Amino acid sequence: MMTVIDINPLQLSFAFVLVIILSFCAFAARLGITKKLLISAIRTIVQLSLIGLVLEALFSTSSPFWISMMALAMLLIAGREVTARQRRRLTKGWSFAIGTTSMFVSSFTVAILTLTVIINPHPWFTPQYAIPLLGMMLGNTMNGVAICLDRLHETTWQQRRVIENRLMLGHPWNEAIGKIRRDAVRAGMIPAINAMAAAGVVSLPGMMTGQILAGTSPALAVKYQILIMLMITVGSGFGSMISVLLASRRLFDQRERLRIDRLVLNDPD
């Protein structure tokens, strides 16, 4: 088995220097992303360093309570990110509630099924498997849900007159907004579908690359990557469908009138 090569802080700092050089180039080109680029890089370093310490403690205890708390924190943060990425969102916290609920139902269900039926560690909530798997599920489902909700809300706003005309012609609410819903779900699933189509041909996925760099057999890394990508697609697909179903229903009242006033502008950071 190959020895894993350690990376010291000085070597990591070289990568950060390259990001600084990129930010200077972006500033010179007047791209307007220099501040966001540097802040994001710093957040990456701080957040991943902290999560490394948390996971070290979590792996040593394997406590179901702390694993559940970690999973809950990941879910709530993902729900916040879904809300922040929508240009138009539902009022009264409905965007957060719908995004969080859809990710919980899809990601947690698929992750638990994967742990208990396919991987089957003992116990099934072993943090070495549960936390990384749930993190990948939530991260990718979050992207799909954010994209499809943003598409749903923005297109509904732009085509509100068309939807109202359909309602006046006697169409039920789900038919009046049907095409918009289908387009939104397709948009949410495109990243997962593209990732599957390009895997192994255009790119080597991150989990597989990380396992190989850590000394895992390429054959075993491939098996895990296939499993993860299939489960990510399932989670993203169901998450997109659930979120669009719940959000589109919220756009209409009990009398099937379009309530466009339930959408507010929310320019994401």
d(CA 237, CA 241): 6
Angle between helices 127-158 and 160-168 (to 10 degrees): 70
Which tokens belong to 103? 């990710």
Where residue 182 falls among pLDDT bands split at 50, 70, 90?
A: very high
Q: How many CB atoms lie within 10 A of CB 126?
A: 15
d(CA 13, CA 125): 35
Quote the pTM value.
0.81
Q: Does the pLDDT at position 143 exceed 60?
A: yes
Which residues constitute the domain of residue 115?
64-265
Which tokens belong to 188? 């949410």
Whether 77 and 42 share a structural domain: no
Our count of domains for the chain comes to 2
Using the 3D structure, point to which of 20, 36, 61 is the last residue of a domain. Answer: 61
Where residue 30 falls among pLDDT bands split at 50, 70, 90?
A: confident
Whether 137 and 210 share a structural domain: yes
Where residue 4 falls among pLDDT bands split at 50, 70, 90?
A: low
More confident residue, 251 or 204: 251
Whether 100 and 13 share a structural domain: no
Using the 3D structure, point to which of 61, 86, 110 is the last residue of a domain. Answer: 61
Q: Calculate mean pLDDT across residues 67-85.
A: 91
